Chain A
Amino acid sequence: MLLTGLWVAPALAGLLVWGMPSRGSARVLALALSGVILAYAAWLIVPYSAQPGILRLEEIGTAGAFGIRYHLAMDGIALCLCWLTALLIVLSLAASWKGDVPPGYWAAFLFLESALMAVFTFRDLFYFYIFWDLALIPMFFIIGLWGSSGRRKAALKFVLYTFLGSLSLLIGLLALVTLHYRATGMWTWDMAELARTPVAGPAALWIYAALAVGFAVKVPVFPLHNWLPEAHTEAPAAGSVLLAGSMLKMGVFGFLRVLVPVFPELSLAALPVLGGLGVVNVIYGALCAMAQKDFKRLIAFTSVSHLGFCLIGIFSLTAEGIAGGCLQMINHGFSTGGLFLLIGMMYERSHRRGVDDFGGLAATAPVLSVYFGVILLSSIGLPGLNGFVGEVMTLAGMARASMPLAVLGSLGAVLAAAYGLPAFQKVFWGPPGPDSVSQTIGDLDLRERAVLGVLVAGIVVLGVYPQPLLRLLTPAVEALALR
């Protein structure tokens, strides 16, 4: 029942918050309950450590019609992503504290949390798919109701574009399950069962492609990334945090959870394509980020770049590469989540988000500048901070699989400095322009310092001492490594 609680509790909390009579009480309750859920997720490490094996805390129901079966389990990768999600929910709700929003806003985040937890822990592909799709709906309303001026179009584009990926995924999954039935005479949606019977032949390639497209839209992998900039830019700050911090990880997680275990040979063969696209993501995302005038859009494109590293790590199919890819998912949640929160705080004060709208902020808002600096340096991969560890591990893994791709990928680290540092210099030390609003920006208050402090602490700790997290990831990662 431990894992059932992990996805049911946020849903119930959401319903409870939604039913609150006043905005104030909904806000307090939402933050309190999300805190409880975070504490619960953190506590899960205790029963988790007490069990042996890769999959722990398993809950298996009996197989019903068509082999669909309630099956939850936790491994190191899922545990890290659940922690990340629970933490980001708390932080983004705390960051939305001052926004005068109805109970539905807080509830939507809790519903989203429920769907994400379910995606990360279900081992039955039917339920996996249901919650995969379901996660779209709260985000659709978060963007459409509480986003900025272009929110309506962005919300629709976000859902329709990612639904295209979902449909590709659905067809791939159904074909996979049907083929498995023809080979074994048994209906099953269980990931482990499906992985046990390799699918071969030309059909396997099509299924692999359909599933890969489904996951790639979510990551997003170039050229299926078009929905991302608009959705991230128009969403409210807290929505962008969850979108980048947790929802994109669903795609990477899908690659790890479904594609690699079920199709090991094809995944090895896919190195030039999917590993190559990872490199394209890294470089293309960085180049696009360089050209952005809107701060939020800039950060959105850095997501494309960072998730390219995840892809590079995973499709190197080496233990260090996959571990680095997983670490990079967590790191990206911290750094990009932090940057979106910071932009949100600046926007709350000035109602601007253009890079040129600010200047000389270091003088007027020193604390904000320090936080911004640390998080940005983490994002561009400075040694000593968390981003560096993940990137180096993915590239080291890739170097064992394909040296040219590793070399090209490492270009991304240089480009990251090229998009990050000039923007930072302009905003914090540059001369305030004629339209600059920097003079009116007050510094961070205690609540904001606390929210960002948590992230900065995580960034520093993971940067100098990532070993505990890596140890947690190791069993699951080594089971996936093929090279």
Chain B
Amino acid sequence: MMNALQSSGMLAAMAPQAMLAVALGGTLLSGILLKDKAAALARAIAFAGILAAGAALLAGPLGPSVEAMSRVDGAAKAWEALFLLAALAFIAVGRLPGDRSIALFLGSLIGMCLIAVADNLILLFIALETMSLPTYLLVHGLRPGRRSLEAAVKYFFAGAAASALFLLGLAVRYAATGSFSIETADASAGSFLGLALMGSAALFKVGAFPFMFWLPDVYEAAEPEFSGFMSTAVKAAGFLLLLRLLEGHSAAAAALTDWLPALAAATMTFGNLLALRQKSLQRLLAYSSIAHVGYLLAATWAWGAQGGSVERLDTLWFYLAGYLFMNTGAFLFLLCTGVRDADALRGFGRRAPWLSGFFILMLLSLGGIPPTMGFLAKFFVIWELIKAGGIWLAAVFALNSLAALGYYLRLVRLIAFEDTVEGTAQAPAPAGAGALAVMAVCAAATLLLGLAPAVRDILFASFFAG
């Protein structure tokens, strides 16, 4: 009787993850049964699994579950919603070659959803590994070739270093406090060191300065839609990891938070300065994603400096949500058009006005021009910085936004104002219906959610309503 109760409580806390695990099993089974023809069915199973996980997530209860070492709070739900949305978009684009890559992808997704709810450092580590390992394989597996192999190996070693840091931090923390609980952190040196090491692992995952060296190579070598997924969902998971470590604002977390402004300023400046000079579009978007990590780190500092409560994560969440739509859209443009080089964009506006208009909208949103979601996201972050008293960081943020607008508008200029140079003209590759549908959603969200500043609070509060 007792056991049954416990397992049902555990199942309730982990229902979305369980749904995804069932879908993962289903995709593998379909592969065994149907052999080569399994991809379409596996995709359908994955799609259904993600939708079911979403439904379970929204209906699921809030609160801790001791048996599952987990705690479902509003932030967990909000972030899981982002992961599932990103995954849905990725599956909808529909270019995963077979059941095994779909299964790997679902595995990674389960890891992300575990990070959201983990209430214990051991589970957090397992979740981190579950999320990371499949991504190394997918970088190479989706686009086999020498470059992607090199990138995957690089990504693997960077990820292994992050895991090692996390594990070391976990051990130090356990030695200092005797507990694996996330919350138990005192002011001791060991507690701070442990937190700093685990925090570094999170910074590795999101690609913050000085742990960002692997990122441009990986994002450039992977398939565009997977780079889009990594830059949005995996990054959001990395940030959630960092936020979980800093949450509650213990003495050690406060000490670590003090370092964030410098890291944020360095990260955004590095990303923007290097993005200014890029010719390859995927590389440019990679550096720009480093810059966005800098903005998010600034927001993380403002959040921590104002108490660091879960309910106040709305600004960060909204930024990540906005980034999810606009960056996925930008990478899908690259996928649909086959354009890899900035110069190939010359005169693109004449050849494909609708696709160009879409890309320009995404670029303006990334650059933070109203009335897009990107503007509103940046607006909230600057506001939080000012509320937290970080006026110099707000100024650095503003100057960085200006530099970033420089390279986004340079692309707009190539698309809209320049004429096609002979020989570089490239007819846009036919885009799949799935990709087009995702792009339409991205465009609609970027525009409509940018028009109503109140939407952020309504959406975010709804996750806390239970």
Among the stretches A166-174, A243-251, A285-293, A446-454, the one at the interface with B is: A166-174
A465 within 8 A of B: no
B269 within 8 A of A: no
Q: Which residues of A contact B395 (CB under 8 A)?
A: 171
A156 within 8 A of B: yes
Q: Is the CB of B416 within 8 A of A174?
A: no
- Which of B370, B383, B457 meets A178, CB within 8 Å? B383
B406 within 8 A of A: yes
Q: Is the CB of B409 within 8 A of A159?
A: yes
Q: A11: shortest Cβ distance to chain B, in Å?
A: 11
Q: Is the CB of A171 within 8 A of B410?
A: no
Q: Is the CB of A171 within 8 A of B382?
A: yes
B417 within 8 A of A: yes
Q: Is the CB of A144 within 8 A of B398?
A: no
Q: Is the interface of A mostly helix, strand, loop or mixed?
A: helix
Q: Which residues of A contact B454 (CB under 8 A)?
A: 64-65, 68
Chain A 40-80 per-residue mask, 1 if CB under 8 angstroms from chain B, else 0 = 00000000000000000000000011101000000000000
Q: Is the CB of A151 within 8 A of B417?
A: yes
Number of interface residues of B (CB under 8 A): 29
Minimal Cβ-Cβ distance residue in A for B380? A66
Q: Which residues of A contact B413 (CB under 8 A)?
A: 144, 152, 155-156
A457 within 8 A of B: no
Q: Is the interface of B mostly helix, strand, loop or mixed?
A: helix
Q: Which residues of A contact B371 (CB under 8 A)?
A: 130, 134
In the bound complex, how far is the Cα of B414 from the Cα of A152, in angstroms? 9
Q: Which residues of B contact A164 (CB under 8 A)?
A: 402
Q: Is the CB of B394 within 8 A of A171?
A: yes
Q: Is the CB of A133 within 8 A of B382?
A: no
- Which of B375, B387, B416 meets A144, CB within 8 Å? B416
Q: Is the CB of B370 within 8 A of A130?
A: yes
Q: B455: shortest Cβ distance to chain A, in Å?
A: 9
Q: Would you list which residues of chain B between 379 and 413 have a CB under 8 Å from chain A?
A: 379, 382-383, 386-387, 391, 394-395, 398-399, 401-402, 405-406, 409-410, 413
Q: Is the CB of B417 within 8 A of A178?
A: no
Contacts known (A141-B416, A152-B418, A174-B383); A167 close to B401, Cβ less than 8 A = yes
Q: How many contacting A-B pairs (Cβ < 8 A)?
A: 73
B48 within 8 A of A: no
Q: Is the CB of A65 within 8 A of B457?
A: yes
Minimal Cβ-Cβ distance residue in B for A130? B370
Q: Is the CB of A65 within 8 A of B402?
A: no
Q: Which residues of A contact B369 (CB under 8 A)?
A: 133-134, 136-137
Q: Is the CB of A159 within 8 A of B417?
A: no
- Which of B379, B409, B416 meets A170, CB within 8 Å? B379
- Which of A129, A144, A171, A174 meets B417, CB within 8 Å? A144
- Which of A140, A141, A144, A163 meets B402, CB within 8 Å? A163
Q: Which residues of B contact A134 (CB under 8 A)?
A: 369-371
Q: Which residues of A contact B364 (CB under 8 A)?
A: 137
In the bound complex, how far is the Cα of B451 from the Cα of A126, in angstroms? 12
Q: Which residues of A contact B145 (CB under 8 A)?
A: none
In the bound complex, how far is the Cα of B412 from the Cα of A156, in angstroms? 10
- Which of A66, A151, A156 meets B409, CB within 8 Å? A156
A204 within 8 A of B: no
Chain B 129-168 per-residue mask, 1 if CB under 8 angstroms from chain A, else 0 = 0000000000000000000000000000000000000000
Q: Which residues of A contact B453 (CB under 8 A)?
A: 64-66, 68, 126
Q: Would you list which residues of chain A between 330 and 355 have a CB under 8 Å from chain B?
A: none
Q: Is the CB of B386 within 8 A of A171?
A: yes
In the bound complex, how far is the Cα of B398 from the Cα of A175, in angstroms? 14
Q: Is the CB of A145 within 8 A of B398?
A: no
A160 within 8 A of B: yes
Minimal Cβ-Cβ distance residue in B for A206? B391
Q: Is the CB of B417 within 8 A of A155?
A: yes
Q: Which residues of B contact A155 (CB under 8 A)?
A: 413, 417
In the bound complex, how far is the Cα of B416 from the Cα of A205, in angstroms? 42
Q: Is the CB of A160 within 8 A of B402?
A: yes
Q: Which residues of A contact B375 (CB under 8 A)?
A: 130, 133
Q: A204: shortest Cβ distance to chain B, in Å?
A: 14
Q: Which residues of B contact A144 (CB under 8 A)?
A: 413, 416-417
Q: Which residues of B contact A141 (CB under 8 A)?
A: 416
Minimal Cβ-Cβ distance residue in A for B398? A167
In the bound complex, how far is the Cα of B369 from the Cα of A129, in angstroms? 11
Q: Is the CB of A178 within 8 A of B386?
A: yes
Minimal Cβ-Cβ distance residue in A for B353? A104
In the bound complex, how far is the Cα of B391 from the Cα of A374, in angstroms? 51
Q: Which residues of B contact A136 (CB under 8 A)?
A: 369
Minimal Cβ-Cβ distance residue in A for B410? A156
Q: B129: shortest Cβ distance to chain A, in Å?
A: 39
In the bound complex, how far is the Cα of B63 from the Cα of A98, in angstroms? 69
Q: B186: shortest Cβ distance to chain A, in Å?
A: 33
In the bound complex, how far is the Cα of B405 from the Cα of A159, in angstroms? 9
Q: B396: shortest Cβ distance to chain A, in Å?
A: 11
Can you list 22 A-B contacts (CB < 8 A)? A64-B454, A65-B453, A68-B453, A68-B454, A130-B370, A134-B369, A136-B369, A144-B413, A145-B417, A152-B418, A156-B406, A156-B409, A160-B405, A163-B405, A167-B398, A167-B401, A167-B402, A170-B379, A171-B391, A171-B394, A175-B386, A175-B391
Binding site for A on B (CB under 8 A): 364, 369-371, 375, 379, 382-383, 386-387, 391, 394-395, 398-399, 401-402, 405-406, 409-410, 413, 416-418, 453-454, 456-457
Give 10 closest A-B pairs by Cβ, nearest first: A167-B398, A65-B454, A144-B417, A130-B370, A152-B417, A64-B454, A174-B386, A133-B370, A174-B383, A65-B457
